[in-house]
Chain A
């Protein structure tokens, strides 16, 4: 044991730029892949691919899968799997659709579209999702049925209880307050978006700065100040670029006119407004940031990773791994409900096939994002990026006229290749990473 210790203590060898910036190589790889996809489709479509409108659409479409992928990271890190997320999404969506359109209006004697109904509906939806997840977690954690089996069963069960809940009918949803969660119908406009973007950039810079200060206060080595500055610059720049871009997507004139009419006003000549940040994307960002915080800085997150790394060690360290399993799946269920809300708002209806096959996209997003099926390893930002990469691919292919079956072929190949490249990379670098 002395030899390795000495080697590290020896004068530091010349460090590469990647080491100096302490960049996660895996993240870098994904960003490069993402950039490559964007560049290829931008050239192919003559620029339309990166137009504010398309960036907006890709972001909005990726939200439900990305939200669920955040939860799937925890599930997979803890050495489980959840094949039922698409069906849980459908089940939550069905309950929420029926609650707001039929059950609550008659139970509370209120009109469809009343804010009270929407609030109660959302609470019911969240409770149902969390409950379904907790039930899965109980079967897995306390009854020790493999999660693959429980959730494969759940996939069939929830999908079809969903059918009975709505009697197989689609439910059309028109409440403008609900549609706010869907994307295009719920945007913040340019001024608010830019302000939020500036605040977020400042918060990110501050977070990096305080992490550095904390390390310094314990006398640890930190990266050089210029490298830290560059990191802050890149992060803040990316945030600002994203909000600026979305703030350049104009709301169509006809729609603006309608909005003014609805308020009983006449639109002034030459009036324009921009979309800016959609509320659904903000929800995704809040979910991703909270989940990252949970993963890295909370006991719950620490225990999830410990359990994934070595379940026996976690148990012997006094962690209640059974209760932990229930919590992990309950959180997954909650996120399915949230994704269901966003999905039905975007589609402006609940249909039987909502969320169909979504479980596979969610798992693919997590895995493309670097979550190891063996457990113990995974990041939230990776999963979100994985969802974005898949959505960009599909959107790009659709734009250049690739037909749907072939789109799915490509997505499938990308999944396998992403994991393959990762394995080759790890072998080259020595397993330790």
Chain B
């Protein structure tokens, strides 16, 4: 796909953020176009989650700016991010363990009727979306702490896709999923992409990256190693970028 001349959906420019003395993200710029999946790769602690949390409103960048559809966006908290139709599946899932799947799915955006929370309606909606994502899911009336890791992840995914996101951030969305469920998420990603969403996908499985992503940005020690078009490289090229922190010679020009 050629992005020439198009306005990026998201542009993160020159983002830096540090915790105490550690530069978790160090002058990183990445972008994302509509209908595109951009993989974000790197070793553990490279700064991937921290970078996308700036976009999600969970962290404030010390330096740099975020542009949405070419316009500067002020994202001060998760509420602002939601207002830009940015939805996030956090690596930690960010579920309230004591609430059931429906309450978590609609947390912060409850369905109301006559001024009261309508749990029955929310459960019905949750059943609908879970039917598409994970048809075997049955545990609608128990706190999510009673769910398996994969079931919890399904709830977090359902929450991110339910609200008509335009920009989707997925931080290792299939880490806890079985092969069948992973396949369903892969299909979901392709479907959402076809609908024109832009997706940042943090993923360690190089095979999934090659299959799902259009471009891949690689980070090392908080810095951006480079961004490549996935169909122009081999998996060994990307592994080399992750491990050595250098762009492959044939692309370095």
Please give, as numbers and ranges, the residues of chain B lying within 8 Å of A316 by CB-CB distance: 56, 58, 78, 88, 90, 94
Please give, as numbers and ranges, the residues of chain B lying within 8 Å of A320 by CB-CB distance: 79
Q: Which of A218, A301, A307 contacts B121 (CB 8 A)?
A: A218
Closest-by-CB residue of B relative to A311 is B96
Contact A218 B123 (CB under 8 A): yes
A299-335 vs B: 1/0 string, CB under 8 Å?
1011101111110111111111000000000000000
- Name the segment of A5-13, A254-262, A414-422 touching the other chain: A5-13
* A312-B92, A432-B142 known; A2-B99 Cβ under 8 A: no
Contact B77 A1 (CB under 8 A): no
A203-222 residues at the B interface, CB under 8 angstroms: 214-215, 217-220
Report the interface size for chain A: residues with CB under 8 A from the other chain. Answer: 39
Please give, as numbers and ranges, the residues of chain A lying within 8 Å of B180 by CB-CB distance: 2
B74-105 residues at the A interface, CB under 8 angstroms: 77-79, 82, 88, 90, 92-99, 103-104
**Taking the complex as formed, is A14 at the interface, i.e. its CB lies under 8 A from any CB of chain B?**
no
Contact B137 A1 (CB under 8 A): yes
**Taking the complex as formed, is A20 at the interface, i.e. its CB lies under 8 A from any CB of chain B?**
no
Please give, as numbers and ranges, the residues of chain B lying within 8 Å of A5 by CB-CB distance: 136-139
**Taking the complex as formed, is A276 at the interface, i.e. its CB lies under 8 A from any CB of chain B?**
no
Q: Which of B108, B148, B154, B178 contacts A317 (CB 8 A)?
A: B108
Closest-by-CB residue of A relative to B152 is A1
* A1-B181, A306-B107 known; A313-B95 Cβ under 8 A: yes
Q: Most chain-A Cβ atoms within 10 A of its Cβ — which of B99, B137, B146?
A: B99
Please give, as numbers and ranges, the residues of chain A lying within 8 Å of B22 by CB-CB distance: none
Q: Which of A1, A302, A315 contacts B103 (CB 8 A)?
A: A302
**Taking the complex as formed, is A165 at the interface, i.e. its CB lies under 8 A from any CB of chain B?**
no
A345-392 residues at the B interface, CB under 8 angstroms: 376-377
Known: A1-B148, A2-B178, A316-B90. 20 other contacts (CB 8 A): A4-B138, A5-B137, A219-B124, A296-B117, A298-B115, A299-B117, A302-B110, A306-B96, A313-B93, A313-B95, A313-B104, A314-B107, A316-B56, A316-B78, A317-B107, A318-B79, A318-B108, A376-B97, A377-B98, A432-B143
Interface, chain A (partner B; CB < 8 A) = 1-2, 4-6, 8-9, 214-215, 217-220, 293, 296-299, 301-303, 305-310, 312-320, 376-377, 432
Top 4 nearest A-B pairs by Cβ distance? A5-B136, A309-B96, A309-B98, A317-B108
